[in-house]
Amino acid sequence: MKNIIPIETNSWKKLNNHFNKIKHVRMIDLFNNDANRFKNFSITFKNKILVDFSKNRITNETIKKLLNLTIETNLSEAIELMFTGKKINQTENRSVLHTALRNRANTPVYSNGIDVMPMINTVLNNMENFSYQVINGIWKGYSGKSIKNIVNIGIGGSDLGPKMVTQALKPYKNHLNIYYISNIDGNDISSILDNNHFERTIFLISSKNFQTEETITNAMTIKKYFLKKAGNKEFMNKHFIAITSNIKQALKFGIIQKNIFQIWDWVGGRYSLWSAMGLSIILSIGFDNFNKLLHGAYDMDQHFRETKFENNIPVILALIGIWYNNFFNTETEAILPYDQYLEYLPKYIQQSNMESNGKNIDRNGNKVSWQTGPIIWGETGTNGQHSFYQLIHQGTKLIPCDFIAPINTHSHLFHHHKILLSNFFAQTHALAFGEYFIKQKNNICIKNSMKININNSQFKYFEGNKPSNTILLNKITPYSLGALIALYEHKIFTQGIILNIFSFDQWGVELGKNVSTEILNILKNKTNILKYDSSTNGLIDFYNYFNRNH
Ligand code: F6P
């Protein structure tokens, strides 16, 4: 992998000059000057997903110059290194092989000289058998009754991905109730403890390292309550499952070997829903649908690996993201799904993007002087429209948006979907063109409209020129969802490579974890010896005072 400093490349310098020339260009003019702009600036994937990136402040020249950046930073080589299991996660000395987890061609993929496909297939088979037994009532709880509830206990990537997919594919759901517990806050787990159905519940303890404080504390609490109710340690074998790479710790916890589904060090937490971490997904929608999810992701992998970059969806979206974040200094991106079942998608992409590319040290070990990962946030449409869209339309910030919607809905209330989609189309149009079209249509002079001061019109003025990508899916199916998730994974990868950072570690979360362990000891011992700054000391003192007196 080449560690090229992006801002020192010729393409970056040319992009800088180009930016100065076109920073004030208006999308209305770009569209007026190119009748084929939609056709020229959109790509379809397998006739199932359309990505329209025409409503951006870019020209053919911009794309050409951004594509040069992929050549100078040797993106093609990096893609091959990832797919072929080279240790591109250098700070942890690991391969990055979530693509192998969905390698439907089943061709050999090597990590450390070992083909990982046979072990992936073994775990997949075990997951298929296990889920078949649970879903069909063959697997019985300790009282002899079939299973009704699945509780996934995990956090970060061991929670967000499976939770997002399970919710997105609700129309494919079977009779099992699926719950997700992540927070260490006792309020999160109490609903599970309060319910009295342990005899019909399976707990999936999902933790790659099986040491994550939140997950292990929650798991221990569940175990304690379970044993109190069931009265026999042996009964755990029918109710406790581990998903982990740390088999030793899982055994120590009391989970038998047969109930452990393995993942490996080359599966990153936030890229793990395709692995055994997806067990709750399989239990919710069945193995065949999970397989379709893998197929969708696999086809997007092939698209990413084999398509020329000018027609490569993840690459184009990654380049547009770099364009805004680094040249327009936008800093942020909004993810706006127009589908209620995609409600967790913004949160999921938030973790995968911000934990991957939230880095300020480059691959040479030096502090960066360019922008890396953007701030990701979002909300379902139309809820967002009645909340923060005001700022996107008329605020002082430029916020690039991804609008995502299915053409066909699973809901039988088709007229609702038409209204939803009319909002979806209207928003990207209004953001891009403001009032221009309306005024042109009505033959109203649009020049100097800011200065017109009749009926407070300046307050009602929509300037437009706000960028967005539109992603239209035929329907939210396991296949199209798999492809959509893989699209975002590869977008993040592409940005990490070009911006010369390591996307697959997350050292930034470690310091907070270490300090909290130390503070926990202080809180437990109620000691007054505090060695932090005056604010932290003051806060802990205040806590201790209240704790002593209440
Ligand atoms: O937040 C840090 C992190 O390591 C994430 O990357 C990961 O998804 C999460 O914690 C949970 O880790 P584990 O699965 O090992 O419990």
Per-residue pLDDT, 449? 44
For residue 5, the tally of other CB atoms under 10 A from its CB is 17
User: How large a percentage of the chain has pLDDT more than 70?
Assistant: 95
Q: For residues 211-243, b (16+ Cβ closer than 10 Å) or e, as one string?
A: ebebbbebbebbbeebeeebeeeebbebbbbbb
- CA-nearest of 158, 142, 169 to 211 is 158
- 165 contacts 480 by C-beta, under 8 angstroms: no
**At 458, which amino acid appears?**
Q
**373-423, pLDDT tens digit by residue?**
999 999 999 999 999 999 999 999 999 999 999 999 999 999 999 999 999
Q: For residues 344-369, b (16+ Cβ closer than 10 Å) or e, as one string?
A: bbbbbbbbbbbbbbbbeebbeeeebe
Whether the per-residue pLDDT at 435 is higher than 90: the answer is no
Rounded to the nearest angstrom, the distance between the alpha carbon of 268 and the centre of ligand 1 is 9
Rounded to the nearest angstrom, the distance between the alpha carbon of 269 and the centre of ligand 1 is 5
**213-233, pLDDT tens digit by residue?**
999 999 999 999 999 999 999
Q: Please name the helix (run of DSSP H) or strand (run of DSSP E) that holds residue 297, with its range, or none.
A: helix 287-306
**95-142, pLDDT tens digit by residue?**
999 999 999 999 999 999 999 999 999 999 999 999 999 999 999 999
Q: Which of 492, 506, 511, 516 to mutate to test the pocket of ligand 1 (most atoms within 8 A of CB)?
A: 506
Mean pLDDT score across all residues of the chain: 94
- 222 contacts 192 by C-beta, under 8 angstroms: yes
**Given the residues 397, 513, 518, 526, the one annotated as active site:** 513
Quick one: average pLDDT of 183-205?
92
Q: What are the residue boundaries of the structural domains of the chain, listed by start?
A: 6-72+307-498, 98-288, 510-549
Per-residue pLDDT, 195? 72
Q: Which of 212, 262, 266 to mutate to test the pocket of ligand 1 (most atoms within 8 A of CB)?
A: 212
**Given the residues 39, 386, 416, 526, the one annotated as active site:** 386
pTM of the model: 0.96
Q: Please name the helix (run of DSSP H) or strand (run of DSSP E) that holds residue 62, with its range, or none.
A: helix 60-72
Judge if 6-72+307-498 and 98-288 fold alike in CATH terms: yes
* 513 has catalytic annotation: yes
Q: How confident is the model at residue 451 (pLDDT cuts 50, 70, 90)?
A: very low
Q: For residues 513-545, b (16+ Cβ closer than 10 Å) or e, as one string?
A: eeeeeebeebeeeeeeebeeeeeeeeebeeebe
Q: For residues 48-77, b (16+ Cβ closer than 10 Å) or e, as one string?
A: bbbbbbbbbbbbeebbebbbbbbebbbbee
Q: How confident is the model at residue 437 (pLDDT cuts 50, 70, 90)?
A: low
For residue 444, the tally of other CB atoms under 10 A from its CB is 11
Per-residue pLDDT, 450? 43
Tell me the three-class secondary structure of 485-503, residue by residue: HHHHHHHHHHHHHHCCCCC
Q: How confident is the model at residue 438 (pLDDT cuts 50, 70, 90)?
A: low
Per-residue pLDDT, 513? 85
The span from the CA of 409 to the CA of 419, in Å, is 12
Q: Please name the helix (run of DSSP H) or strand (run of DSSP E) that holds residue 401, with its range, or none.
A: strand 401-406
**At 395, which amino acid appears?**
G
Quick one: average pLDDT of 511-526?
85
Q: Which CATH number fits domain 98-288: 3.40.50.10490, 3.40.50.970, 1.10.150.80, 3.20.20.105?
A: 3.40.50.10490
Q: How confident is the model at residue 447 (pLDDT cuts 50, 70, 90)?
A: very low
Is the backbone peptide bond immediately before 382 cis, with ω within 30 degrees of 0? yes
Distance set, CA 444 to CA 78, 278, 441, 452, 482 (Å): 53, 56, 8, 12, 47
Quick one: average pLDDT of 509-520?
88
**Given the residues 199, 355, 435, 489, the one annotated as active site:** 355
Whether the per-residue pLDDT at 196 is higher than 80: the answer is no
Secondary structure (3-state) at 550: coil
- CA-nearest of 156, 104, 378 to 271 is 156
Whether the per-residue pLDDT at 443 is higher than 70: the answer is no
* 510 has catalytic annotation: no
Question: What ligand 1 atom has the least distance to the C-alpha of 277?
Answer: 14
Per-residue pLDDT, 290? 98
Per-residue pLDDT, 222? 96
Quick one: average pLDDT of 522-543?
85
Q: How confident is the model at residue 529 (pLDDT cuts 50, 70, 90)?
A: confident
Rounded to the nearest angstrom, the distance between the alpha carbon of 155 and the centre of ligand 1 is 6
Rounded to the nearest angstrom, the distance between the alpha carbon of 124 and the centre of ligand 1 is 22
Q: Which of 96, 155, 216 to mutate to test the pocket of ligand 1 (most atoms within 8 A of CB)?
A: 155
The span from the CA of 303 to the CA of 299, in Å, is 6
What is the second-level CATH architecture of the domain 6-72+307-498?
3-Layer(aba) Sandwich (3.40)
**1-45, pLDDT tens digit by residue?**
889 999 999 999 999 999 999 999 999 999 999 999 999 999 999
Pocket of ligand 1 (CB under 6 A): 154-158, 207-209, 212, 215, 269-270, 355, 506, 509
